[in-house]
Amino acid sequence: MLTLTCAALLYSHLQARWQQPKYKVTIAVSKTPLSTPFYVAKVIGAFDDTCVSVKFVEVDGGQRAFAKVMNGEVDFGTSSDSVMAFQSLASKSFVSHAMFVQSDNDVKLITRPSAQINSFIDLKGKRIGVTKRTASEYFLSMLLALEGLTTEDVELVHFKPEQLINGFIDNKIDAFVPWEPFAFHSVQLLNKQIKIHDSKSLNTLSFNLISQTADTLLVDKAKCIIQGLNTAINYITLHPAKAKQIVINELQLSAEFIDWVWPDYIFKLGLNQSLILSIKSQAIWAIDTHMSHFTEMPHVENFIDSRAMLQVMPEAVNIPL
């Protein structure tokens, strides 16, 4: 009996030594359904069996999350490729460790049925509301380019994202380009008084796990966060209804809004060429349209750190090493 007790104590001691160290990390999480994997991970305890003990700092938007990372207020953040593109021009020392969600329909073009804007060429000469230096203005420039137009062929009117709908209601603009949830709110408020144009798949937005340029320890922490996110994404795939309810509860959103955006989301971990191309194209656009005083194109590859992903899901990494 004594031998068994001693063996049990020895096993317990060795097991404790074999366990991964538990690092405390803080993550600035943007309060949007795009951050669903983090909210699901929190509720189902997906980080419990990893090397990190996670504290969330919820913020409004990827720009604020990025700022908290760069200010050293948090270890990691969630940020869109659009934010990364603009910040790359400023030569900030940051990296993406993984994409965890993509949406090909987050930014939308909204007009009035009475304006008879049936195709993007009909935007010529129109007053269009955008949020300056964001995915809103970039997306509009893409739509115009499809018809051989530029932003000089329209009248740009700049609004904060939450003020776009009021500018439209007050007839200050003929069309506007919001992202979610502002497009959904517009539908709720104006219903048949607006027309949402089919632009699905013309532009893809991704959300990323970012940090300051990482040393070996930070990469190890990123690896454990990615492990937890992988568990959460598997849960979302197997239990979509439960995952949607988690987001509804965590963000106090309506079921109607989640049903509205959910079909456009692809929850999947990865690091691939699409991220590099997206950052490059938006950075080039910012330089060409003088959105930034920076004129030199950065080496975008320097803002991608694949070391953590290669340890967790090497098959999901498709970028030059």
Q: Are 155 and 233 in contact (CB under 8 A)?
A: no
Q: Is 230 exposed, middle or buried (0-12, 13-18, 19+ CB in 10 A)?
A: buried
Q: Are 36 and 247 in contact (CB under 8 A)?
A: yes
- Regions of the chain with pLDDT less than 70: 1-20, 290-294, 321
pLDDT value for 139: 94
> pTM of the entire structure?
0.85
pLDDT digits (tens, 9 = 90+) for 242-284: 999 999 999 999 999 999 999 999 999 999 999 999 999 998 8
Q: Give start and end residues of each alpha helix (H) in 19-133.
A: 36-44, 62-70, 81-89
Q: Is 121 exposed, middle or buried (0-12, 13-18, 19+ CB in 10 A)?
A: middle
pLDDT digits (tens, 9 = 90+) for 147-162: 999 999 999 999 998 8
pLDDT value for 12: 47
The structure tokens 């005083």 sit at: 293
Joined together, the tokens standing for residue 9 give 């104590």
pLDDT value for 292: 62
pLDDT value for 297: 82
Q: What count of other Cβ atoms lies within 10 Å of the Cβ of residue 31?
A: 18
pLDDT value for 196: 95
Q: How big is the CA angle at 160 (ends 158 and 166), to the nearest 5 degrees?
A: 85
pLDDT value for 134: 82
